[in-house]
Amino acid sequence: MGPGVRLLLDTCTFIWLAAAPENLSPGARDALDAEANDFFLSHASIWEIHVKHLAGKLTLPQRPRLWISRQLSVRGVTDWAMDLETIHRTSELPNHHRDPFDRMILAQADIHGFGIVTPDAAFRMYQAKLIW
């Protein structure tokens, strides 16, 4: 993969990394195993985990606050805040995909120069650097 890159983990990638690593592709595993890479999780993903847990669509072994904090620490992942420029960018992206959490991840990758680790085929419609 060459020198290290900054990678933004899609929500499902982060969940699988923590709870079901067998779901990760070989390419995703290689990127996540590369010590030179830096890993980030969007606050949009953190919000999405809370929303899905509250709706009963995601079961976690602990309250989201505790589980997310522990997984960030254990996995060496840094949380990445939603900033105003990125929020503005979400409405300027082509309207291929309407999921607000995914649009935030795409906008953050665009504004801040991240690659995105995701299996989500909808991300392929954008000019993002994708790893899977």
Residue 13 belongs to a domain: yes
Strand order from edge to edge, sheet including 6-9: 77-80, 38-42, 6-9, 115-117, 130-131
Model confidence at 71, pLDDT cuts 50, 70, 90, reads very high
Task: Give 127 or 50, the one with higher predicted confidence.
Answer: 50
- Interval 77-129: pLDDT, tens: 999 999 999 999 999 999 998 899 999 999 999 999 999 999 999 999 998 99
Q: Is the whole model's pTM more than 0.75, yes or no?
A: yes
Instruction: Tell me the CB-side half-sphere exposure of residue 95, using CA atoms within 13 A.
Output: 1
| Confidence category of residue 3, pLDDT binned at 50, 70, 90 | confident
Q: Which domain holds residue 91?
A: 6-131
**Residue 1 domain flag:** no
Establish if 68 belongs to a structural domain.
yes
Q: What pLDDT sits at residue 127?
A: 87
Residue 1 predicted with pLDDT over 70: no
Q: How confident is the model at residue 2 (pLDDT cuts 50, 70, 90)?
A: low
**Rounded CA separation 31/83 (Å):** 26
Residue 21 maps to which CATH number?
A: 3.40.50.1010
